[in-house]
Structure 1
């Protein structure tokens, strides 16, 4: 396992040129030296061997990172992400497989840089599926050769990359789009540009504030009228209405109420019917 001290030792400092010069000073390992170090790490967990393996391969990370300079990201950040991939490769490398460490590490270095570019190139993710990721990193190279795509060129690219022509069109559109400020500062909102927008100018078509207020007022008004109407009923009728319709815990049956008052269920039904009529007249008044 590689500790934090060793991670910091391969992190580009503020002066990138100085970092690159120092990284290139580390000598490249011979096949025999690399084999000894990788075995010491794998079988003895030798951290000094891991450090030497990492530092001697930093030049390769720097070289690979330069291939991603066209995405507008800092090279120091690209190198740092690539170094993370290098450390993962060193940790997983098996010296018995018969290949050089750099050949194994290239995949891990590129993988970490790819993830970093996809996370940071745009606010909105431009590549989420496997085919979109493949297109994202290959379409830029292809466009340098073809320029703007016509239908024939789209078909060529689709065949070369093994994706659908629809995927090519969609990715070209995503990569051509530009991020814009969603909610610019006031001083930025008077530069004459038409590609800025503000949350203050957006309309929420799914909500109606006026209707919501009106509905709340109506419900409060109806509740007040019902309360006043209930007060006009006699105590027995008021209890019947409450037990039958307003008790949130349970709805009492006619027979249950009849047993409480010592009358028939039919008489309770008649009292309930009369009470409901009185309530309706009071509420509509």
Structure 2
């Protein structure tokens, strides 16, 4: 073998298996390279898996991962209809593949491709559920199963329809019953998941438009200041001052001053009008209206001082 041939042979089989993967940033080049990577034979797969398990050989792990990158690409294509980037789906699937390689037992009698499919799909499912909407649409195991089966079954119903162009996206009663029976869930759960999937994210407080005007959003009619913590505390303090606080402040006044304040501000007639006037009180006590006003002002100042101390 000549020196040139040796260099060519070394370039085709690099010591570092990860060198066969193209640089990040070009998804098409990555997919092309992943599909060109050689598949492992059963003996090679068994040997690399034992090297990883017994000796923690990372190069062996790299060989196992690289040979199954095309599997991740293939599985990720099944989830392109959820509107998430293909590159992100592949990335999450690769995480699942690496978890499968770490846990793979070559003595179980199954190929890595069969074992890894579960882990790849599990990571992609979790990514979709977290990023498909701002609010997670499925939390329980039954809801997750329903979420991923609902869309595929709707596609089947659409394909079976005589006229796919006029097919209604909204599920009919017959389709709801068929889904509930096939997935072994209640029809109410199918209807609820259909409602969740058909709805979209709505910004509570939209950003201003290009012309600088504030856009109208749900925050305009959903906010309730009555339950805002600061408002609740302030309301309780006002109620306390209006009852116990005023009662305490009135005790600081002499009998005449207390009656003038009560008749002027606290006693309300049945028709909603106020109590006695300055002239009415002046006639009762045999003094001028100006004297009643002076007594009232002095009493108010004394009560205000008492309320400040009470608060």
Q: Normalized against structure 2, the TM-score is what?
A: 0.64
Structure 2 CA distance, aligned partners of 1:69 and 1:18?
Answer: 18
Q: Shift in Å at residue 222 of structure 1?
A: 4.2
Structure 2 CA distance, aligned partners of 1:43 and 1:216?
Answer: 74
Q: Which residue of 1 aligns with 2:44?
A: 33
Q: Shift in Å at residue 75 of structure 1?
A: 0.8
Alignment of 1:135-146 (within 5 A): 135-146=146-157
Confirm or deny: 8 A CA contact 1:57 1:102 kept in the other structure: yes
Structure 2 CA distance, aligned partners of 1:12 and 1:124?
Answer: 34
Q: Shift in Å at residue 101 of structure 1?
A: 0.3
Q: Shift in Å at residue 161 of structure 1?
A: 1.1
Structure 2 CA distance, aligned partners of 1:213 and 1:227?
Answer: 20
Q: Shift in Å at residue 86 of structure 1?
A: 0.3
Structure 1 CA distance, aligned partners of 2:175 and 2:91?
Answer: 36
Q: Which residue of 1 aligns with 2:175?
A: 153
Deviations 1:123-170 (A, max 9, x none): 111111111100100000011122532112111111111111111111
Structure 2 CA distance, aligned partners of 1:6 and 1:214?
Answer: 73
Confirm or deny: 8 A CA contact 2:65 2:101 kept in the other structure: yes
Confirm or deny: 8 A CA contact 1:12 1:80 kept in the other structure: no
Q: Which residue of 2 aligns with 1:197?
A: 218
Larger RCO, structures 1/2 (Cα 8 Å, 6+ apart): 1
Of 115, 120, 124, the residue aligned with 2:126 is 115
Aligned-residue Cα RMSD (Å) equals 3.5
Structure 1 CA distance, aligned partners of 2:192 and 2:106?
Answer: 43
Alignment of 1:208-223 (within 5 A): 211-212=235-236, 214-215=238-239, 217-218=241-242, 221-222=245-246
Q: Shift in Å at residue 109 of structure 1?
A: 0.2
5+ residue gaps, structure 1: 230-281
Structure 2 CA distance, aligned partners of 1:133 and 1:18?
Answer: 33
- SS of corresponding position for 1:160: helix
- SS of corresponding position for 1:186: coil
Q: Which residue of 2 aligns with 1:167?
A: 189
Confirm or deny: 8 A CA contact 2:207 2:215 kept in the other structure: no
| Alignment length (residue pairs) | 226
Confirm or deny: 8 A CA contact 1:82 1:113 kept in the other structure: yes
Confirm or deny: 8 A CA contact 1:12 1:79 kept in the other structure: no
Q: Shift in Å at residue 11 of structure 1?
A: 10
Q: Which range moves more in the overlay, 131-140 or 19-28?
A: 19-28
5+ residue gaps, structure 2: 1-15, 158-168, 254-305
User: Judging changes above 3 Å, is the alpha-carbon distance between structure 1 residues 161 and 201 closer, same or farther for their aligned structure 2 residues?
Assistant: closer
Q: Which residue of 2 aligns with 1:84?
A: 95
User: Judging changes above 3 Å, is the alpha-carbon distance between structure 1 residues 27 and 145 closer, same or farther for their aligned structure 2 residues?
Assistant: same
Stretches (4+) displaced over 4 A: 5-12, 188-194, 207-210, 219-224, 226-229
Say whether residues 1:56 and 2:95 are aligned partners: no
Structure 2 CA distance, aligned partners of 1:35 and 1:134?
Answer: 33
Structure 1 CA distance, aligned partners of 2:35 and 2:135?
Answer: 37
Q: Shift in Å at residue 74 of structure 1?
A: 0.6
Confirm or deny: 8 A CA contact 2:209 2:215 kept in the other structure: no
Structure 1 CA distance, aligned partners of 2:59 and 2:155?
Answer: 44
Structure 2 CA distance, aligned partners of 1:82 and 1:9?
Answer: 19
